[in-house]
Structure 1
Amino acid sequence: MSLKSQFHKSLIDNLYDGVYFVDKDRLITYWNKGAERITGYEAEDVIGHYCHANLLDHVNDEGCHLCASGCPLLATLADGEPRETEVHLRHADGYRVPVLVRTSPMYDEQERIIGAVEVFSNNQSLLKMKERVHELEKDIFRDALTKVGNRKFLELKINTALQEFHQHDLSFGLLFVDVDHFKAINDTYGHQAGDHVLQNVAESLAGHLRNTDVCGRWGGEEFIVLLQGVNLNSISRIAEKLRAMIASSVITVNQDEQVSITASIGAAVVRDTDSMTSLVERADQLMYQSKQLGRNRVTLEE
């Protein structure tokens, strides 16, 4: 390798963003250190494999699998047009990571397309959410297993939101999220697998919220998400997005067996007469309706 080539490789390897190259058949030929850090996959895991083998399993906000239909890299290879889009890749540990993807064609000396490059970076919303969790004032507000807020943290945030609602009419809503078949996963695969499920769900929730929202573990396999400034329409869209992110995630057990994860969600918007107890109980009851209707769904109040 020439000195110039070594310099260029070192430069790309040390970019904060993930970068990978594919040839015209979408065979991965290069994978930088940033891609390793963001995805959890080492270069040796992916170089020499086709990106359409669905290792990263890109999905959009609705959970649609883009490698099967709507792949920006494939579109760029076809027409030579650069693209930029927000997608959600699957980390090596199974949870979803929101990324901003930019694709560009690569040409030979005759200006023929011979491949493409994809550059991707963590979306700012994910970084801000993780910064918020790390900035929780005291460890007593953090759930030790999942690293999101704990029940004390949620109670504080809900009570604060209620005060702002009553004083300034700032509406908000709650999602009550319960992992489906959690006991069966624990009984079948052990508590370590159960812990991995909870961590996976926490990552899926925390990584896909807006800057104004918070989430935490209420207890056991239950999580609560507090959404600011929502009505029934907007809370439905956000809840469906979070449900889809969880449902498109997996954990790996026994080295190679993949276990799917789903969650049932109840969505409630604050009312004038609400206390913290009444609002949480209403969202909880709506979640149980989702369970009764078949799980892996969102139920809103009428």
Structure 2
Amino acid sequence: MNAPLFHQALVDNLADGVLLVGADGTMSAWNCAAERMTGIDAAEVLGRVWSCRHLALRDEEHRAITDSDCPIGAALATGEQVIRRLELRGRGGRFVPVEMHVIPVFEHDGELQGAAVVWRDVSSTLSLEARCQQLHELATRDPLTQVANRAEFDRVHSSFVAVHLERHSPYSLVMVDLDHFKSINDHYGHPVGDIVLATLARLLKSFCRLGDLVARYGGEEFAILLADCPGAAATHRADEIRRAVSELPISALGGKHISASFGVTEVRPGDTPQGMLERADRALFCAKERGRNTVVYLGPQQTGQSLAEIVTNLRHAVTGSAR
């Protein structure tokens, strides 16, 4: 068997584009797939020095790749393999998404001989990834408010409880209920009610950090999961949100304002997702019983008090014991 002919036939029958570049940048191989994908014949490139203009490379944000940030040049300069998602101009001028592997090739003595460049059309992969992302959003996102849905809340809340208990780090849960929402629906209609819910959801998200989660728990009730956040800080955050909600004019209501009630609790040793949720629900119930538009924090041993009430009671207890 003629080894060079066998190797050439093997390379030419690959579905991936293959380019061989010498250490000085001279192109010495350009397979059939490269011709087919780019519309450029081997005769047009072989023996020439590589430049990004041969493939009109772009990054994933559709910005042109220059020779200074070209993956082939980087591999030749550093002697290290480079893998990047790029776009190259294909036959007819259409840009094709590819995954490019640039593999440095060395002599036995360690001297760099050049690089093998292999690129694969990943159009179908990107379409599949996009579809998977769409399915993920359908499964985890509330379509009206564009925050997490109840199923995603249940999953993340259970995970947060387990992780924060294991790390002995704080985690707080805030339950939010839009006050008098039934009256809004009855007076303005459900389409306006939907606008109000979506507006509230956007405001809640604006107060969240990376790693937090806002979810629509059901109806006009939302949940905010605050990672690495102790109860006092969560209560303060909830009160900031409460004020922002009450100060926000709703154009769909003719510029009128809305309000919301908040129940806050913090994870404690031995807690369960359900136990924490029940405390937050009780705190929310207390907030609504106190006239709405307020925040109530409920710890594991508490029956439902605002932080101001807790501080006041502690002061009275200290004063009484001193007498």
For normalisation by structure 2, the TM-score amounts to 0.49
Q: Which amino acid aligns with 1:285?
A: R
User: How far does residue 136 in structure 1 lie from its aligned partner after superposition?
Assistant: 9.2
Task: Give yes or no for contact 2:177–2:220 (8 Å, CA) kept in 1.
Answer: yes
Q: Which residue of 1 aligns with 2:274?
A: 277
Matched, 1:267 2:264: yes
Q: Which residue of 2 aligns with 1:201?
A: 200
Q: Deviations over 1:115-150 (max 9, x none)?
A: xxxxxxxxxxxxxxxxxxx99943210000000000
Summarize the Cα distance change of 1:136–1:286 in structure 2 as closer, same or farther, 3 Å threshold: farther
Ranked by relative contact order (alpha carbons within 8 Å, sequence separation 6 or more), the top structure is 1
Summarize the Cα distance change of 1:218–1:234 in structure 2 as closer, same or farther, 3 Å threshold: same
Q: Which amino acid aligns with 1:169?
A: H
Partner Cα separation in structure 2 for residue 136 and residue 212 of structure 1: 22
Task: Give yes or no for contact 1:136–1:142 (8 Å, CA) kept in 2.
Answer: no
Partner Cα separation in structure 2 for residue 300 and residue 228 of structure 1: 17
Size of the aligned set, in residue pairs, is 167
User: How far does residue 280 in structure 1 lie from its aligned partner after superposition?
Assistant: 0.9
Matched, 1:294 2:291: yes
User: How far does residue 170 in structure 1 lie from its aligned partner after superposition?
Assistant: 2.5
More helix by share: 2
- Superposition misfits of 4+ residues, deviation over 3 angstroms: 134-138
Q: Could you say what secondary structure the match of 1:138 adopts?
A: helix
Q: Which residue of 1 aligns with 2:180?
A: 181
Q: Which residue of 1 aligns with 2:238?
A: 239
User: How far does residue 259 in structure 1 lie from its aligned partner after superposition?
Assistant: 2.5
Structure 2 gap segments, 5+ residues each = 1-132, 303-323
Q: Which residue of 1 aligns with 2:16?
A: none
Q: Deviations over 1:131-178 (max 9, x none)?
A: xxx999432100000000000111111111111123222220100000
User: How far does residue 263 in structure 1 lie from its aligned partner after superposition?
Assistant: 0.4
Superposition CA RMSD, Å: 1.8
Structure 1 gap segments, 5+ residues each = 1-133
Partner Cα separation in structure 2 for residue 292 and residue 144 of structure 1: 31
Partner Cα separation in structure 1 for residue 152 and residue 219 of structure 2: 16
Q: Which residue of 1 aligns with 2:189?
A: 190
Q: Could you say what secondary structure the match of 2:142 adopts?
A: coil
Q: Could you say what secondary structure the match of 1:265 adopts?
A: strand
User: How far does residue 279 in structure 1 lie from its aligned partner after superposition?
Assistant: 0.8
Q: Which amino acid aligns with 2:286?
A: Q
For normalisation by structure 1, the TM-score amounts to 0.53
Summarize the Cα distance change of 1:136–1:222 in structure 2 as closer, same or farther, 3 Å threshold: farther
Q: Which residue of 2 aligns with 1:212?
A: 211
Partner Cα separation in structure 2 for residue 278 and residue 269 of structure 1: 11
Q: Could you say what secondary structure the match of 1:147 adopts?
A: coil
User: How far does residue 207 in structure 1 lie from its aligned partner after superposition?
Assistant: 1.1
Partner Cα separation in structure 2 for residue 167 and residue 292 of structure 1: 35
Q: Which amino acid aligns with 1:240?
A: D
Q: Which amino acid aligns with 2:236?
A: R
Which residues in structure 2 correspond to 1:30-69 (within 5 Å)?
none
Q: Which residue of 2 aligns with 1:164?
A: 163
Larger radius of gyration: 2
Q: Could you say what secondary structure the match of 1:281 adopts?
A: helix
Partner Cα separation in structure 2 for residue 208 and residue 168 of structure 1: 25
Partner Cα separation in structure 1 for residue 134 and residue 240 of structure 2: 26
Q: Taking every aligned residue pair, what percent have the same amino acid on both sides? A: 34
Q: Which residue of 2 aligns with 1:115?
A: none
Q: Which residue of 2 aligns with 1:251?
A: 250
Which residues in structure 2 correspond to 1:22-37 (within 5 Å)?
none
